[in-house]
Chains A and B, each alone.
Chain A
Amino acid sequence: MATSLHVLMALGGLTVGLLGFTGWMGDARALDVPWLVPLSGLSLRMDPLGGFFLLLVGATTVPSSIYAIGYARGARRGLGAYALFVLAMAVVPLAANVPTFLLAWELMALASYALVLTDDRDPAAVRAAWIYAVMTHAGFACLLSGMLLMTAWTGSLTFADWRAAATTLSEPARNLVFVLLALGFAGKAGVIPLHVWLPAAHPAAPSHVSALMSGVMIKLGVMGILRVGLEWLGVGPPWWGVVLMLAGTLSALGGVLYAAVEVDLKRLLAFSSIDNIGIILIAVGAGFVFHSTGLETLAIFALAAAFYHILNHAAFKALLFLGAGAVVHGAGTRDLEAMGGLIKRMPWTSAAFLVGALAIAALPPLNGFVSEWLTFQALLQNGRIPRPELNLVFMLALAGLALTGGLAVACFVRAFGIAFLALPRTEAAAGAQEAGPTMRAAMALLVVACATLALTPTLLLPPLGATAARLLGDAAPSSREDLLTIAVSGDFATLSMPVIAAALGLGLVLPFVLLRVGHAPSRIRYYETWNCGRLLQTSRMEYTATAFASPFRRVFDFLYRPERVVEIEAHGESRFFVRRMVYRNPTRSLVEDWLYAPLLGAVRAGTARVRAIQSGSANLYLIYVLAALLVLLVLA
């Protein structure tokens, strides 16, 4: 039954994806069921942006569901929640009024909450689910209040009416709505400092669900921000974009820095999702700033870069999560320090993970490089805004993005190198099994997706630009560029991915051929690794994940606040004979220490005060109800 449902989900995902594709290409559709949802009825509208995100939902569901056939092995737990989760994610981008949107949004949150709790005997998963529930509902409260305010001020529950009405609103009112809604959506997107739930919740869910959560769900938060700031509220002041860019830079750097020292493979990927959301937000913020300073072409370009990165991240992050799931499945651990040597035991998974790692590290000729390049080019053109204070923000974002790119390379060298290379560090890793055929097929599908996205930017950018243009309220620019090369603002910069791929391929083959033609002897002797003359090569001589991250802990110690805990148990007779030694080097989270700990403390102190009126007597509570009613009647 589980298998047939997953097959059904894959087919459903395909249908949804195709539907989304037609919508993205400009096929407008509408569906209204007045009796289904209270207040206004269910109302769905397909526009290019909604179609784009629907395509994202469908296209990621297909490999995830195929993977689940082998991964879940017929387990029935969480099946309903999985179906509901995908359904809710498919409704969110199309929702055309407030009740439909909020209902779908909440359904998505609840279904994913249930999925985080799939393994409810794991205390870490229970805690993760709890944090997730609190954070997502705090975000929901922000969304609800923002949307209700907007409804009250514009007199309409339909999003389409808001754009026209927003121009009549006062500046503070628009700012308030923007802040509330952006906070709610940023919470779902996992923007620092609202990210605390993400690295806990994503790893706790089964890997194919993690792929969907990281690849798609958090992007719907970005979609919300796009809709608020560009569609529902019209043209905003530049500071909206500036705030988004700064938050994006913070998320990108923070996310990658925590990913670089994380030893839990799935948590590492979750932190890297925060990093990528940051990159997307930098591009979105740049689009906002260009839009509000009247540079529409550049705004469209920046938003197209953001869309491209959204697609790319869905492809490679889903790939990496599925690869991590295969490792968890095969080696039975999520701890990098317990892996090693998997490249010889799980060759297919290793190759797929390597492609994902190269793509996410933005290395040519894979897809991550395309969107990173586009984002850089969008940022580099800020010289056309004649305002030094805005140039400064762009400069910070540029430097932050560059550092993020460098650190992502380091992070994924570490993730792949420690997990897959050298000797296995544990028995479990030594006995790891390769993933089954459906799991491998799903990963292969995503490898193909990464390669396709890498080679076809010239095909993808015009529709992405058109989507951005529609969002900004412009007519679509219909410039069709040549198939090989993307040109940015004339001669500013050009990119040709097929040429890069071909040149690299040629460069790879050329020395090989030359060695053959030159008759270089191909004598190879296999021998053990040189280790300063030691006799035995064991996995204990390998560099560990913790040691690999040590330079980062040293350089960015203000952020990690690392502690060194060394416990030495010596022999009774002499302290120079060590019996056992424990070395730990934990890092801490600045956000949790400085923001959430005081906040939770304040909440606890506040609730302790409120407890005074809680007597437990039903009569007293009835008096409270009466008093509240009277106050409301007087106010009304």
Chain B
Amino acid sequence: MREIGAPAAVVGALAQALLVALAAPLLVGLVRALKARLTGRRGPDPWQPYLDILKQLRKEAVISTTASWLFRLTPFVLVATMLVAATVVPVLVTRPALSFAGGIMLLMYLFMLGTFFLALAGLDSGSAFGGMGSSREVAVAALAEPTVMLAVFALALRTGTTNLGTVAERLGGEPALAAHPGHLLAFLAFFIVMLAETGRLPVDNPATHLELTMIHEAMILEYSGPYLAMIEWASAMKLFLYMTLLINLFVPWWIPTEVTGAGMLLGMLALAGKLVLLAVALAVLETAVAKLRLFRVPELLAGSFALALLSVASVVLLR
């Protein structure tokens, strides 16, 4: 591991967290705009999420009299987990400031920490919708977990590490490593997990207005004002981080390993290009498929688990 000074590390961490925080709403806006175009609507501007967040930040918050301090703490916890996660995922460079803190397991459990608090907040207001959303959210999150670990295992077997930065560097330096059926299968498995974990179709509909079909939206039904702004913003960061992770774990080309001006610029352009491609794929997928019935979701996740299992098996057997 390269030694970097503590002040430089803190500055690097803050810079990357800031970038993720600022760019995340644009990605959400982009997917929404693309979906609108694909369904023949004009749709809002990609910058609309920023305006939404700013508007909510200025508004008054309505809080249920039933809710406790946990309800008010949750948005802060959620933002905190996403900010920390933003310093762990390779976004700008392969080894961001906190890449040594715990790797992919830390990342998954940070997301889980956010889910834990959000699910509690859903129960806190005492509404049936909140409880329903919480119950469904934790069920989906729990069932997605084994797939992640097996996909990570497949990558660890190929690259000899679970350190995100090292995985990206090894695959980036040796593209032949990626040319393996196990790699593709793990990518597909991880992609399905991303859909489930970030509440996209066909698992959850981010644009739904019917409480009974909601998962994520049902949990946050009681939130308003600045609290809602923070939750929306954290959800946008989660989508950004998951998509970046997917990109930089499986197609990690042109990510700079050193902090240099030209390299960083190329890296950012490459990342932006790859994110746009993935956003188009996501928008097309979300336009093409319908939401699954809730009790068909486990089948989808079982499918992704099977893909991950096949991926590991192919790596072990083709070694």
The interface of chain A, by Cβ under 8 A from chain B, is 343-344, 354, 358, 361-364, 369, 372-373, 376-377, 380, 383, 388, 391-392, 395, 398-403, 405-407, 409-410, 412-414, 416-418, 421-423, 485, 491-496, 499-500, 503-504, 506-508, 510-512, 515, 518, 520-532, 537, 539, 541-543, 547-552, 554-555
In the complex, are the beta carbons of B79 and A402 less than 8 A apart?
no
Contact for B128 among A511, A521, A541, CB less than 8 A: A541
In the complex, are the beta carbons of A409 and B127 less than 8 A apart?
no
Contact for A504 among B84, B116, B157, CB less than 8 A: B84
B43 on the A face (CB < 8 A): no
Given contacts A491-B163, A518-B57, contact A512 B125 (CB under 8 A): no
Given contacts A507-B79, A507-B80, A529-B64, contact A413 B134 (CB under 8 A): yes
For chain B, the bracket of interface size reads 35 or more
Residues of A contacting B116 in the complex (Cβ-Cβ under 8 angstroms): 358, 361, 363, 409, 412-413
Q: How far is the CB of A565 from chain B (nearest CB, A)?
A: 21
CA A406 – CA B148 in complex, angstroms?
11
A–B Cβ pairs within 8 angstroms, 26 of them: A363-B109, A364-B106, A373-B102, A395-B153, A398-B146, A399-B149, A402-B148, A403-B142, A409-B116, A413-B119, A421-B126, A492-B161, A495-B106, A499-B98, A500-B98, A503-B84, A504-B80, A507-B83, A511-B80, A520-B58, A523-B225, A525-B60, A526-B64, A539-B126, A541-B126, A541-B128
- What does the 1/0 interface line of B279-314 toward A look like (CB < 8 Å)? 000000000000000110010000001000100100
Residues of B contacting A361 in the complex (Cβ-Cβ under 8 angstroms): 112, 116
In the complex, are the beta carbons of B162 and A377 less than 8 A apart?
yes
In the complex, are the beta carbons of A343 and B70 less than 8 A apart?
yes
Residues of A contacting B87 in the complex (Cβ-Cβ under 8 angstroms): 503
In the complex, are the beta carbons of A417 and B123 less than 8 A apart?
yes
Residues of A contacting B260 in the complex (Cβ-Cβ under 8 angstroms): none
Contact for B109 among A369, A403, A537, CB less than 8 A: A369
Q: How far is the CB of B15 from chain A (nearest CB, A)?
A: 14
In the complex, are the beta carbons of A555 and B139 less than 8 A apart?
yes
Residues of B contacting A547 in the complex (Cβ-Cβ under 8 angstroms): 131-132, 135
B221 on the A face (CB < 8 A): yes
CA A402 – CA B143 in complex, angstroms?
9
Closest 9 pairs (CB-CB, A-B)? A543-B131, A507-B80, A406-B142, A406-B145, A422-B126, A417-B123, A402-B149, A551-B139, A410-B138
Given contacts A413-B116, A504-B81, contact A494 B149 (CB under 8 A): no
Given contacts A363-B116, A511-B80, contact A380 B148 (CB under 8 A): no
Q: How far is the CB of A451 from chain B (nearest CB, A)?
A: 16
Given contacts A406-B145, A542-B126, contact A492 B162 (CB under 8 A): yes
Within 8 A of A (CB), among B140-155: 141-146, 148-150, 152-153
The interface of chain B, by Cβ under 8 A from chain A, is 1, 13, 57-70, 75-77, 79-81, 83-84, 87, 98, 100-103, 105-106, 109-110, 112-113, 115-116, 119-120, 122-128, 130-132, 134-136, 138-139, 141-146, 148-150, 152-153, 156-157, 160-163, 166, 211, 221-222, 225-226, 230, 294-295, 298, 305, 309, 312, 316-317
Q: How far is the CB of A388 from chain B (nearest CB, A)?
A: 5
- Of chain A, the residue at the smallest CB distance from B131 is A543
In the complex, are the beta carbons of A388 and B57 less than 8 A apart?
no
Q: How far is the CB of B20 from chain A (nearest CB, A)?
A: 12
- Of chain A, the residue at the smallest CB distance from B124 is A421
Residues of B contacting A492 in the complex (Cβ-Cβ under 8 angstroms): 156, 160-163
Q: How far is the CB of B299 from chain A (nearest CB, A)?
A: 10
Of listed A373, A493, A504, A549, residue having the most chain B CB within 10 A: A493
